[in-house]
């Protein structure tokens, strides 16, 4: 009966506060969607060897496009080349660890980006 994040099945949607509303023990503090959008529960980590951009030479923007915190930007994989493919960079100051990047990553068999949980949640 403890909450568990499984980004293979979904992700932490900043607009949803249902857990805080229904927790019978009060272990999950009531929170508004605005507050939830500023709570970092983890940190996204990019794994270059799994990413389809460097691995398959295919441009992908899923992680950046779906990041609700704007924590992922795309930078040229080869800065000296004008037409270089772009790879993600995670801004650790903005990432809330929601897992949208991991859940929506098309890389298989493993996502190219995953979330490491924070021992203690904190506001950004």
- Tens digit of each residue's pLDDT (9 = 90 or more) over 39-65: 899 999 999 999 999 999 999 999 999
* Assigned token pair, 11: 């992700």
Contact indicator for 122, 39 with CB cutoff of 8 Å: yes
The three-point CA angle 44-78-51 to 5° equals 35
Closest CA to 37 of 100, 104, 81, 83: 100
Q: Report the predicted TM-score, pTM, of the whole model to 2 decimal places.
A: 0.86
What is the SS3 assignment for 95? coil
d(C-alpha 55, C-alpha 117), whole Å:
26
Q: How far apart are CA 88 and CA 113, in angstroms?
A: 9
Any idea which residue has 């709570």 for tokens? 39
Mean pLDDT score, 102-122:
93
Distances in whole angstroms, Cα of residue 10 to Cα of each of 13, 27, 47, 74, 100: 9, 22, 20, 23, 8
Task: Evaluate if residue 89 carries a pLDDT over 80.
Answer: yes
Distance (Å, rounded) from C-alpha 90 to C-alpha 74?
9
CA distance 9 to 6: 6
Confidence of residue 2 (pLDDT cuts 50, 70, 90): low
């Amino acid at each position: 009966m403890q909450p568990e994040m499984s980004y293979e099945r979904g992700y932490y949607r900043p607009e949803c506060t249902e857990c805080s509303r229904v927790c019978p023990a009060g272990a999950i503090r009531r929170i508004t969607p605005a507050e939830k959008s500023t709570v970092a529960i983890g940190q996204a980590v990019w794994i270059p060897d799994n990413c389809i951009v460097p691995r398959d030479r295919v441009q992908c923007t899923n992680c950046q496009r779906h990041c609700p915190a704007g924590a992922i930007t795309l930078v040229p994989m080869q800065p000296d080349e004008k037409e270089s493919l772009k790879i993600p960079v995670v801004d650790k100051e903005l990432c809330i660890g929601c897992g949208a990047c991991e859940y929506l990553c098309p890389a298989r068999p493993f996502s190219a980006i995953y979330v490491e949980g924070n021992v203690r949640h904190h506001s950004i």
